[in-house]
Amino acid sequence: MSIIGRGYLIFLLITFSSCNRKFDKIKWREYYDPGIPNPNRSKMLDDLIRNYKLVNIKYSQLIDLLGKPDHIESSEISYDIVVDYGKDIDPIYTKNLDFSFKRDSIITSYKVTEWKK
């Protein structure tokens, strides 16, 4: 393999490895200013979804894993993954990890939602 080919391969490996990280609950929970999601969450989301049980667990187990949710409704909670404000005070793009649960506090489903202005 040529030097250019090796350099390109190393570049791809570094780029790919910097995009996705293993889930780390301490890094997931790191606090940033309100309205500014933790940038680690976006990089850990795939690993979290693929390798952790997120459905049919107790609400308290989810909170132990992910920490306090960013948004709470009557039977849904949500964690901010990405919020892009562009050049405005209102978001132009959001990505969230949303969970639904039953009255008995069992997580019934989750989904990744995206919204774009």
* Biggest alpha carbon–alpha carbon distance for the chain: 61
Domain, as residue range, for 110: 23-116
Instruction: Look up residue 69 and give its two tokens.
Output: 């949710």
Q: Is residue 28 part of a domain?
A: yes
- Let me know if residue 59 belongs to a domain: yes
In the chain, the amino acid numbered 12 is L
Decide: helix, strand or coil at residue 68.
coil
pLDDT tens track, the chain, 117 positions: 555 555 444 444 444 445 689 999 999 998 777 667 788 999 999 999 999 999 999 999 999 999 999 999 989 999 999 999 888 888 999 999 999 999 889 999 999 999 999
pLDDT in tens, 58-86: 999 999 999 999 999 989 999 999 999 88
Whether 7 is in a domain gets the answer no
The span from the CA of 78 to the CA of 99, in Å, is 6
Number of structural domains in the chain: 1
